[in-house]
Amino acid sequence: MPSNEQRRETAKKKLERQLERRAERAKKRKQLTIAGSVLGVAVVIGAVAVVFAITRGGDEPETTASDTPSADTLITDGRSEPLPETVNCAYPAAQAPAAKPNTPPRTDAIPTSDEPLSYSMETSQGNIGLTLNNPQAPCTVNSFVSLANQGYFDGTSCHRLTTSAGLQVLQCGDPAGTGQGGPGYEFADEFPVDQYNVGDPAASQPISYPRGTIAMANAGSGTNGSQFFLVFGDSKLPPAYTAFGTIDETGLQTLDKIAAGGAEGGAQDGKPALPVDITSVVSDL
């Protein structure tokens, strides 16, 4: 049985090979596009990605006062132009120091290809399988993968569970276990936040982040770090939090068990009554 360190090293090597394959495919796609233009052939590729988000205000999730979804219940990835084949990401230092030692992720030439990235989060309550949406939130996925491959989430606890009708999520990713900890760096919001112009009133209207969504927690615009939400029940929140993947059926069953245990003291919002300790987060590839 390989150790977690061996699995991470294997995952790192596989990721490097994936990056090489993606770059080669991107090169071929570019060559084909140029050839098509020369021949005067118009090729239209349509892709619609439907995703919802969840929220947390400060360092904690924040329930919305309304249980009625707005007209923007569904958000589609309707960018006027697709993302380029690679993007550059910025991970500037945060005000608070890292809650656990880590090395910030790479910043240059981050692929936006649609090759899925699957990770397995083993917890004291069961396994939670994650599929990361790279083309939708490449800088977010890049950070999550970097932290996971460094073992940043290993030995940490999911510190908050909410079971109200408007917000049903498990919050994880803080080594301090307080809702205040992070990796010592922060980064910008991505989808669906980037679908709204600054000052757009629609950006403050709740949308539905459906069961099975993974989204980033933050303390305001551009303050993403290591904390994330696992949505086990449709939740209505402003589209202010980056959604970057989905949870598999086994993971949802694990979350349902955790949710059934409720929060400590019978509350709808607080530390899970069933302790959720993360043993490891490793690549399935």
Q: What is the pLDDT of residues 30-39, one digit of tens each?
A: 333 323 332 2
| Res. 262: pLDDT tops 60 | yes
Does a structural domain hold residue 43? no
| Res. 71: pLDDT tops 80 | no
| Res. 281: pLDDT tops 50 | yes
Count of domains forming the chain: 1
Does a structural domain hold residue 250? yes
User: Using 50, 70 and 90 to split pLDDT, how confident is the model at 279?
Assistant: very high
pLDDT at 35: 31
Does a structural domain hold residue 222? yes
> Which backbone phi and psi does 144 adopt, to 5 degrees?
-60, -45
Does a structural domain hold residue 259? yes
CATH number at residue 253: 2.40.100.10
pLDDT above 90 as % of the chain: 66
| Burial group, residue 180, by CB count within 10 angstroms (0-12, 13-18, 19+) | middle
Q: Which residues are CB-contacts of 193 (< 8 A; sequence separation ≥ 6)?
A: 53, 203, 221, 239, 240, 241, 242
Cis peptide before 192 (omega within 30 of 0): yes
* Mean pLDDT computed over 255-278: 96
- Report whether 199 contacts 181 (CB < 8 A): no
Exposure string of 134-157, with b = 16+ CB inside 10 Å and e = fewer, is bbbbbbbbbbbbbbbbbbbbbebb
Question: If we measure between CA atoms, which residue out of 189, 199, 74, 57 comes closest to residue 136?
Answer: 189
Which tens digits make up the pLDDT trace of 139-197? Answer: 999 999 999 999 999 999 999 999 998 899 999 999 999 999 999 999 999 999 999 99
Decide which of 21 and 246 is more confident: 246
Does a structural domain hold residue 215? yes
Does a structural domain hold residue 14? no
User: Using 50, 70 and 90 to split pLDDT, how confident is the model at 7?
Assistant: low
Question: If we measure between CA atoms, which residue out of 241, 283, 262, 256 comes closest to residue 126?
Answer: 256
Question: If we measure between CA atoms, which residue out of 131, 138, 105 comes closest to residue 117?
Answer: 131
Task: Calculate ∠ Cα 139-186-166, nearest 5°.
Answer: 85
Which tens digits make up the pLDDT trace of 140-151? Answer: 999 999 999 999
Does a structural domain hold residue 274? yes
Domain of 241 in residue numbering reads as 49-283
Does a structural domain hold residue 38? no
Sign of the Cα pseudo-torsion (176, 157, 136, 115, in order):
positive
